[in-house]
Amino acid sequence: MSISVKLDWSNPIHLLAFGLGSGAVPKAPGTAGTLAAIPLYLLVAPLPGWAYLLLVAVMFLVGVWLCERTSRDLGVHDHGGIVWDEWVGFLFTLWLAPPGWGWLLTGFLLFRLFDILKPWPIGWLDRRVPGGLGIMLDDLVAGLFGFAVIQFLLFLPL
């Protein structure tokens, strides 16, 4: 039996898992968390593709631990306010995207669409993979779907 504790904003693990507080909004915390990831994206977008992907991979690995720990502390698996996973999924969606607000908006909308609708295998992963890995994995795959659509759009003849 896990012991539930109150969210502790002075705990850096909770603060990061809740996207620096963006996941604490009462309505649509996942969308708010994704919006809060935009400044981070703008900061890291100029990185070379390999360095950007390495950062996303490290954030994913750290996120497994952060989300597991926060989820356990709160006594709720995948609490809606945990949005570190949205940050990672959104960043993955925009990996190798061209610069510009249009692509950023496209990535935002695609990621939110896949994260909310959870088409197979995203929904399956969300229901079946436990712990921090499960919290992170469905959003990473939603990010992969968004990434794939953006890459497809880039190859369409205009």
Reported pTM: 0.94
Nearest Cα neighbor of 115 from 16, 34, 18 is 34
Q: Give the separation between CA 108 and CA 102, rounded to whole angstroms.
A: 10
Instruction: Give start and end residues of each alpha helix (H) in the chain.
Output: 12-17, 29-36, 38-44, 49-74, 84-93, 101-117, 122-128, 131-154
- pLDDT band at residue 157, thresholds of 50, 70 and 90? confident
Residue 23's contacts (CB-CB under 8 Å, 6 or more residues apart) are 17, 29, 30, 32, 33, 80, 81, 82, 83
State the chain's maximal CA–CA distance in angstroms.
Answer: 57
Mean pLDDT within 42-65 = 98
- pLDDT reading at 3 higher than 50: no
Cβ contact 144:81 at 8 Å: no
CB 56, CB 91: distance < 8 Å: yes
Could you report the per-residue pLDDT of 111-127, keeping only the tens digit for each? 999 999 999 999 999 99
Average pLDDT, the chain: 94
Query: What pLDDT does 130 receive?
Result: 95
